[in-house]
Amino acid sequence: QHHRLQQLLKPLTIVKQEQTSLALDDTILLRDKDRPILQAAIYANVNYLITGDFRDFGIYFGKTIQNVTILPPVDYFKKFN
């Protein structure tokens, strides 16, 4: 399975927390533990942040912050199927 895992990881970009020091607007209401997740997505220049964290990211589902659209998995898959 090691080879299969390596193949699955090829398109991924690993972002270290120290790379996520981008400032977020004060209007972004995320707990300290969640801010680095959004910052990493912005830093990596991704189109979508897919999360099942309704508690912390739910108010942002369907919204775009600095070019990153935040969606729950079900909405992402509906969008592309």
The average pLDDT across 17-36 equals 83
Residue 77: both structure tokens together: 């898959």
Coil/strand/helix, residue 75: helix
Question: In whole angstroms, what is the distance from residue 56 CA to residue 58 CA?
Answer: 6
Report yes or no: 39 and 22 within 8 Å, Cβ to Cβ. yes
| E strands in 1-81 | 48-50, 64-65, 68-71
- Does this model's pTM top 0.85? no
Q: What is the pLDDT of residue 56?
A: 94
How far is CA 25 from its chain centroid?
16
Q: Where is pLDDT greater, at 24 or 50?
A: 50
